[in-house]
Amino acid sequence: ALPQKVRLVEMSPRDGLQNEPGPVIATDIKTGLIDRLAGCGLTHIESASFVSPKWVPQMGDAAEVMAGIQRKPGVCYSALTPNLKGFENALAAGVNEVAVFAAASESFSQKNINCSIADSLERFVPVIEQARANGMPVRGYVSTVLGCPYEGDIAPEQVAEVARDLYQMGCHEISLGDTIGVGTPLKAKRMIDAVARHVPVEHLAAHFHDTYGQALANLYAVLEQGVAVIDASVAGLGGCPYAKGASGNVATEDVLYLLQGLGIETGVDLDKLVATGNWICGQLNRHNGSKVGQALGGK
Ligand code: HMG
Ligand code: MG
């Protein structure tokens, strides 16, 4: 059965902008985006990434971004923290939730965070400990759940193992990333079936990219399995620095249009979201990757 409500987790300020080519985007564009997203009714906004600026230059102003936003009560502003250094900076910046990120593929783990899956999990232990000591929830990502740019197919059991480990380590929610957007609905269903044997489905989130145009179909498939948290990025912004050819996350406008058509509640305003998508595309001089944004945006 389909869920009655879905929580949208907005990815554009982080996953959307981290790979934007060209000069580093001005901090006030990032904060302008985050504030507009909060104004749309989104309650969970991944706002920054406390990673090495040598690895991801676009996220180098994470602390300034966190300091510059106008915090809206009830909104959770989260950030990626791959290690203790990242966590300490995120804590100091007043982030509401942190996220650690692992992969289901060894090669992707090496390319993305420069270590094995096992080493990454070990590195997350003190991050999760410190987060809990500070009363901060931790989200866990698993990348390459439906395919890897270096290894090809990924066995659902492999995804399930990493998801289970992150969940048992204390992550309250496991976001399953089709990093390169190669999945199809049947594959997505099989993956969720395998993971849900270890992690209750209410603690899972779908993080699908739209490289092959399958993201909405995949989301519909996993909604039917009870997944009720969806990661998306306004205007379909994004890509991945370590996944060649990966296009953006599924567009939030498109997901919202789908959910509204299914009578599923989100609390998000479609018109404002479309306006936000068009605003950020104008700022970045970038094509709007949302079909709904194009249809309703008048551009
Ligand atoms: P490393 O080079 O192995 O680590 O990087 P290191 O500990 O040797 O540190 C190297 C340098 O980085 C040092 O500086 C550290 O101080 C600094 P130096 O001494 O050379 O001047 N450093 C840091 N600086 C700021 N903040 C930090 C930090 N840590 C170290 N937290 C590391 C390892 C994990 C740091 C690196 O590989 C990294 O930052 N990777 C980030 C990769 C990334 O952000 N990828 C994109 C996000 S994942 C994603 O998009 C997928 C997802 O969306 C889901 C999906 O789509 O599937 C989540
Ligand atoms: Mg992603």
CA 225 to chain centroid: 20
Mean pLDDT of all residues in 5-32: 95
| Mean pLDDT, residues 254-260 taken together | 98
pLDDT over threshold 60, residue 241 = no
Q: How many CB atoms lie within 10 A of CB 85?
A: 13
Low-confidence winner among 154-168, 178-192, 245-259 (lowest mean pLDDT): 245-259
Annotated catalytic, 115?
Answer: no
Tokens 């936000």 identify what position? 276
The residue nearest atom 16 of ligand 1, judged by CA position, is 52
Contacts of residues 109-117 at CB distance under 8 Å and 24 or more positions apart, as own/partner, are: 111/150, 111/242, 112/143, 112/242, 113/82, 117/162
Ligand nearest to the CA of 183: 1
Q: Average pLDDT, stretch 133-159?
A: 97
pLDDT at residue 39 greater than cutoff 70: yes
Per the structure block, which two tokens stand in for 87? 């966590």
Q: What angle do CA 141, 145, 148 make, to 5 degrees?
A: 115
Q: How confident is the model at residue 260 (pLDDT cuts 50, 70, 90)?
A: very high
Q: What integer is the mean pLDDT of 31-38?
A: 98
Q: Annotated catalytic residue: which of 40, 148, 240, 281?
A: 240
Residue 49 has pLDDT above 70, yes or no: yes
> Does residue 280 sit in helix, strand or coil?
helix
As a whole-number percent, the residues of the chain with pLDDT over 70 amount to: 97
State how far the Cα of 164 lies from the Cα of 169, in Å rounded to an integer.
Answer: 8
Q: pLDDT by residue (tens digit) across 87-143?
A: 999 999 999 999 999 999 999 999 999 999 999 999 999 999 999 999 999 999 999
- What does the alpha-carbon distance between residue 138 and residue 146 come to, in Å, rounded to a whole number? 23
CA 86 to CA 18: how far, in whole Å? 16
pLDDT at 243: 59
Q: What is the mean pLDDT of residues 218-244?
A: 89
Q: How far is the CA of 90 from the centre of ligand 1 (A)?
A: 14
Report the pLDDT value the prediction gives residue 246, as an integer from 0 to 100. Answer: 61
Mean pLDDT of 214-223: 98
Regarding the beta carbon of 109 and ligand 1, being less than 6 Å apart is answered: no
How far apart (Å, rounded) are the C-alpha atoms in residues 251 and 249? 6
Q: What is the 3-state secondary structure (H, E, C) of 32-55?
A: HHHHHHHHCCCCEEEEEECCCCCC
| Distance of alpha carbon 188 from alpha carbon 175, whole angstroms | 13
Average pLDDT over residues 156-168: 98
Rounded (10°) angle between helices 185-196 and 215-223: 40
With 80 as the cut, is the pLDDT of residue 299 above it? no
Mean pLDDT of 186-212: 97
Tell me the ipTM for this assembly: 0.97
Q: What is the pLDDT of residues 171-185, one digit of tens each?
A: 999 999 999 999 999
User: Residue range 244-273: average pLDDT?
Assistant: 93
Residues 165-169 have a mean pLDDT of 98
pLDDT number for residue 133:
97
Per the CB < 8 A criterion, the answer to whether 13 and 47 are in contact is yes
Answer yes or no: is the C-beta of 179 below 6 A from any ligand 1 atom. yes
pLDDT in the model for residue 193: 98
The pLDDT of residue 140 is: 98
Coil, helix or strand at residue 99: strand
Per-residue pLDDT, 156: 98
CA distance 291 to 279: 15
Which neighbouring-strand residues pair with 290?
A: none
The size of the chain, in residues, is 299
- Measured in Å, residue 137 CA sits from the centre of ligand 1 at 21
Q: Which ligand places an atom closest to the C-alpha of 79?
A: 1
